Structure 1
Amino acid sequence: MEAVVFNGKELKLKYEKAYPMPKIENDTDVIVRVEYSGICGTDLHIIQGEFPASKDPLPLGHEFSGVVHEAGNKSIFKKGQKVVVDPNCSCNLCDFCRKGKYQYCYTAGINSTVGIWRDGGWAQYCKVPQTQVYALPDGITTEQAGLCEPYSCVAHGFDRASPLLVGEKILIVGAGIIGNLWVTTLHHHGHREVTVSEMNKSRLEIVKKLDTGFRLVSPDVLAQEKELFDVIIDCTGVGKVMEISFNYLKPGGKYVLFGCCPPTHQSLVNPFQIYDKELTLIGVKINPFSFPNAIGWLKAMGSRYVDYEKLGVKTYKLSEYQKALDDLKVGAISKALFKMV
């Protein structure tokens, strides 16, 4: 089968036409025929050697949807079902997992992710345990479900940051795909006092297509205005950006650190400011048990929000992986997905 394979030792990607086809090993295994598979910002960090991943060659891709190709004898899934895959799971044994917080697990969670530590969705087929497979309800296409995993992370972030009260002034920093998904989420939930800050003008043009009426500005405008916000959602994954934008919080404000920074990034934050303003810093890690929420959001949002053209999403063949990466780097698009249908 076709696959885009990452070699963790050499930090190289390679398109392969004859990567081994997965086989059912356990009675509850499911082999998904992948239809849409996203390139995440975490994938870019992995490729650059900035985020831990398997050293053994494997297809990356932890955001994907498709159709059941084959299922084990004891699986609840049937051939032909439309599905989406949650790449993360629980070990079910440690204290964290038994308390429903597998994002903290030392062996599961982000440490066993499909597409990071196990063969992922940058391939025509991918084998996963049925516990990580969700059937798609009527009204959601596999195209829309290609964004389910990032929406599930936003859903977890939304829960962590709640309550987010309608009428509060909110700043979204960074208008890549995650910033755009936060834009759609907040607008769908009734928020209107939202500002989006992005230095890449072409990305701001993409946000306009979502027709939310949110204020769109560049970082230099924020610096000149010195306006303060109740909530700041950082979607950049850049330590220096946090250092700057943290100063834009009102007393009692919340800073949601959503973008995944490389481990080497540092930020200088004034602890007196945290004390004096009673500020809250909120980290968000993966998507523990938030896939059902994300699926519900996809169905409720529909094409009003979950539309590739409006979100700045472009699809590519697996063989076009380098073009996809190049387009992402220059900011011509907000997100790239491999399309295999």
Structure 2
Amino acid sequence: MEALRFTGSTKLLEYVNVPIPKVTQPNQVLIKVAFAGVCGTDLHIIAGEFPLSNKGTKILGHEFSGTIVEIGSEVQNVKVGDRVTVDPNEGCRCCDFCHSGNPHYCQIGGIHNTVGIHRDGGWATYTVVPTNLVQKLPDSITLEQGALAEPVSCLSHGFDMLSPVSVGSRILVIGAGIIGNLWISVLHHHGHRKVTVSEPNATRLNYVRKLETGFDLLTPQQLQKKRDADPSYAFEVVIDCSGFCPAVEQGLSLLTKGGKLCCFGIPPPDKTIKVAPFDLYAREITIFAVNVNPFSMVKSVGFIESMGSRYFDYERLGVQIFDLKNYQQALDLLKTGEIAKAMFRL
């Protein structure tokens, strides 16, 4: 089968042909992958900016959908032929974090054992995963849409952390890559209309226009000019989807008193921002971050099913499909911002 294999010690990503993996445990399933996405985390991994073991090789890809083609002897939740998406994260089920309902904090599991990062994932024709990570897709959701379930599950976790946010609140979304566009879509679906989007890339702003939300679209420079002209120009909520520290600092400065800053984008581990504790006190600012998707996959599928093709349309979201062998073109276009997301079709 075809696959994209990453070597941690050399940071080499290569297109290879490897044997189809086998179901070796009674609780495993073999999935014929249909669509597999490229996440910003994948770009950080390939660039050597994300903590990852240098031992051996891994098939990347933690966002994917497909069809069950084989099941282990103890699998009961799915059958051969079912269309599924996969939650790549699970805890050890033994530690205090797991027992308290926070498996994403687990030091053994969680983000330390993610499918497609620390074990073989979906950038391949076939992949084997534990059946407890599989989420069956309803007939109303396509395999294309199902491949977005993992990022939407992270967003749904962030949405829960952010809530409640009253309709009519002034909201700033920083960054119009796929995560920004998904936040824009979810906010619009939930009735929010006083939303501003900050994005320096004109191509990505055009993708936001295709979503037809009517939101205010600005570059970071235009955003700052508005603030300079009117010191009262501010937001109750800022959602950073860029992971770019200067953008996070700008968003923090634009919060009104009592405002919330949601740090959703992932920066390189060595980057920092400047925060004045007195300013947080004086304005009673809340800052929080979102770490993956604890128990959020069911809600993610619910979001996609209820929002439908009005929002989950590849062309509107800026998603472009590539053959796996054309991975370098996909990565290059993603890095330049010419597309919001790259999706491999297997």
Tell me which interval the TM-score lies in, with the shorter structure as reference length.
Answer: over 0.9
Partner AA of 1:27 in structure 2? P
Aligned amino acid, residue 41 of structure 1: G
Check conservation: 2:156, 2:299, Cα contact below 8 A: yes
Which residue does 1:223 correspond to in 2? 224
- Write the distance in 1 (CA, Å) between the matches of 2:184 and 2:255: 19
Alignment of 1:162-177 (within 5 A): 162-177=163-178
Give, in angstroms, the shift of residue 106 of structure 1: 0.6
Take 2:113 and 2:53, find their aligned partners in 1: how far apart are those partners?
9
Residue in 1 that maps onto 2:73: 73
Give the partner amino acid of 2:239.
I
Report 1:104-253 matches (<5 A): 104-226=105-227, 227-253=233-259
Q: 1:11 is aligned with what amino acid?
A: K
Question: What SS is found at the alignment partner of 1:301?
Answer: helix
Question: Which residue does the alignment assign to 1:85?
Answer: 86
With 75-84 and 304-313 compared, the bigger mean Cα shift is at 75-84
Aligned residue number for residue 296 of structure 2: 290
1:236-274 deviations in whole A, cap 9, x for unaligned?
Answer: 011222122210000000000000111011100111110
Tell whether the 8 Å contact from 1:61 to 1:116 is kept in structure 2 after alignment: yes
Q: Is the 8 A contact 2:208 2:317 kept in 1?
A: yes
Q: Does 1:318 align with 2:324?
A: yes
Greater than 2 Å deviation, 4+ residue runs: none
CA contact (8 A) 2:30 2:128 kept: yes
TM-score (norm 2): 0.97
Of 258, 269, 274 in structure 2, the residue corresponding to residue 268 of structure 1 is 274
What SS does the aligned partner of 1:261 have? Answer: coil
| Unaligned stretches of 5+ residues in structure 2 | 228-232
- Partner SS, residue 83 of structure 1: strand
Amino acid in structure 2 at the alignment position of 1:50: E
Matched residue count: 339
What residue is the counterpart of 2:230 in the other structure? none
How far is 1:275 from its partner?
Answer: 0.1
For structure 1, the 5+ residue unaligned runs are none
In structure 1, distance between residues paired with 2:107 and 2:44? 21
- Contact kept in structure 1, 2:32 and 2:127, CA below 8 Å: yes
Deviations 1:90-143 (A, max 9, x none): 111011111111111111110000000000100001100000001111201111
Task: State the distance in 2 between where 1:139 and 1:184 align.
Answer: 19
Once superposed, what is the RMSD of the aligned Cα atoms? 0.7
Of 169-178 and 74-83, the range deviating more from structure 2: 74-83
Q: 1:258 aligns with which of 264, 270, 280?
A: 264
Q: Could you report, residue by residue, the CA deviation over 1:285-338 in whole angstroms, capped at 9, with x for unpaired residues?
A: 000000000000010011000000000000101100000001101111000010
AA aligned to 1:29 is Q
Q: Distance in 1 between matches of 2:39 and 2:64?
A: 11
Which secondary structure does the structure 1 equivalent of 2:119 belong to?
coil
Counterparts of 1:180 and 1:244 in 2: how far apart (Å)? 20
Q: CA deviation at 1:53?
A: 2.1
Q: Secondary structure at the match of 2:14?
A: strand
Aligned counterparts of 1:305 and 1:231: Cα–Cα separation in 2: 22
Q: Is the 8 A contact 1:54 1:116 kept in 2?
A: no
Q: Which amino acid aligns with 1:318?
A: L
Q: Verify the 8 A CA contact 2:251 2:261 in the aligned structure 1.
A: no
- Tell me how far apart the structure 2 counterparts of residues 169 and 122 of structure 1 sit (CA, whole Å): 39
- State the percentage of identical aligned residues: 51
